[in-house]
Amino acid sequence: MSMQPTRQQHHDLYYYMKLNRAVEDTMVKLFRQNKIVGGLYSSLGQEAISVGTAYALERRDWMAPMIRNIGALLVKGVPPRDIFTQHMAKYTSPTRGKDGTSHFGDLENLHIVSPISMLGDLIPVMAGVAIGARYLGQKIVTMTWIGDGGSSTGVFHEGLNFAAVQKAPFVLILENNQWAYSTPVLRQAPIENLADRAKAYGIDSYVVDGNDVVAVYATAKEAVERARAGKGPILIEAKTMRMLGHAQHDPAEYVPKEMRAFWESRDPITLHEELLFSEKLLDAKGKQEIEAKIEALLEKDREFAENSPLPPPELAAEGVYCEGCHKIEPKWERPVAEVMPPKASTKPAWPATGYATGHGAARVAAQFIPAGADASGNGAGPLVRATSKGAALSRGKRKPIKPAASRRPGR
């Protein structure tokens, strides 16, 4: 199947990026009017990643966005009014005013898992969702995002390794936006591409221009379909730039002016708009219609949010404990007998292969056992271990190892 977007998909990608930016611009005004409760985190310059990756998912797929992935929420079907009321802690918000920012989800309809503040913790969660869905016979893919700084947390590596071993239908988007708060990438990791970390877990990875929404979508679509086909998890590193500070309180004066100017010239919305005009997929009239549609939607949803009430005091005591508030049960899409003895296809034993035959044995012999020696290392010449650069490290001659039968007891 073609991974390149159709004319309508081009328009959709453009619309959602414009909507993403307009929603955040509206919230900046609300924040400055002291109507936003808590912090406000911008995705300015990163819209192509949230929109392009989420657009590659199907409605049945699951995702867990972070604070800079408002574009992914919009693509999944969350209306701007929910985002406004959530940030304003209004009673009409998805959490009825009990939480802020993007800390809300929709497990039943939109299949959105609420963000977790501890960076990286969404990775094992979404790997688990993918594995559980596969067990139930659901042909879904799960997706979450992590920043360059978050990719240095322990749970990033633990979660990705877990997903790799289990071949989970899971796609991880690594947003390399150059800064972990005020720490540049090269002060975090001594490698050029953070996607190379996927090699440690035996999974594939991609590196993509995070400011090219078409490239992001095409790459994510290929990754999603490969994961759905049982090829295991995939890591996508999208290189971009965080154009504002960590949050509204951070002026980001640590960013070099030349660096900021370079990325300003590569604004993802401007780049895609230029493509649409050059390919005659959009004209001035069509652009005006899209902008008018967004303006009308946001005006309506902003007014709704501002006119919504704050939560009543008695709500504070509600919802602390779940007392039959919702029912949790598996949604089987395959016969249960398929995963139960005796019909289960998986045998109750772990196979251990490659240690004595085939390529596994050949690799061991090449790395640790000198030519002419037997499997125990007996033979002429020093024991040699190959290094990663093809050199060799000599460990000196070893004393012959006596067969077990000839050893004296207690020795």
Q: What is the CATH number of the domain that holds 110?
A: 3.40.50.970
**Tokens for 314?**
């008695």
Instruction: Burial-class residue 215 by CB neighbours within 10 Å (0-12, 13-18, 19+).
Output: middle
| 140 and 213 together in one domain | yes
Q: Is residue 150 a part of any domain in this protein?
A: yes
pLDDT in tens, 124-136: 999 999 999 999 9
Q: Domain range spanning residue 376? A: 358-402
Tell me what pLDDT residue 322 has: 77
| 64 and 172 together in one domain | yes
| 216 and 289 together in one domain | yes
Tell me what pLDDT residue 405 has: 46
Strand 170-176 vs strand 179-180: parallel, antiparallel, or unpaired?
unpaired
| 36 and 151 together in one domain | yes
Query: Mean pLDDT for each 10-residue chunk of the chain (411 residues)?
Result: 84 98 96 92 94 98 95 97 96 92 91 92 97 96 95 95 97 94 88 94 96 97 97 97 86 89 94 97 96 98 97 88 79 90 76 66 66 57 48 45 44 41
Tell me what pLDDT residue 392 has: 44
| 277 and 390 together in one domain | no
Q: Is residue 138 a part of any domain in this protein?
A: yes
Number of domains in the chain: 2
Tell me what pLDDT residue 113 has: 96
Domain boundary among 317, 346, 366: 317
| 274 and 199 together in one domain | yes
| 383 and 258 together in one domain | no
Q: The pTM is what?
A: 0.84
Tell me what pLDDT residue 250 has: 83
From CA 366, how far away is CA 353, in angstroms rounded? Answer: 18
Q: What share of the chain is helix, strand, coil (3-state, %, to 5)?
A: 40, 10, 50
| 83 and 228 together in one domain | yes
Tell me what pLDDT residue 231 has: 96
Amino acid sitting at position 155: V
| 260 and 177 together in one domain | yes
Q: Is residue 41 a part of any domain in this protein?
A: yes
Instruction: Burial-class residue 128 by CB neighbours within 10 Å (0-12, 13-18, 19+).
Output: middle
Tell me what pLDDT residue 364 has: 64
CB 133 within 8 A of CB 140: yes
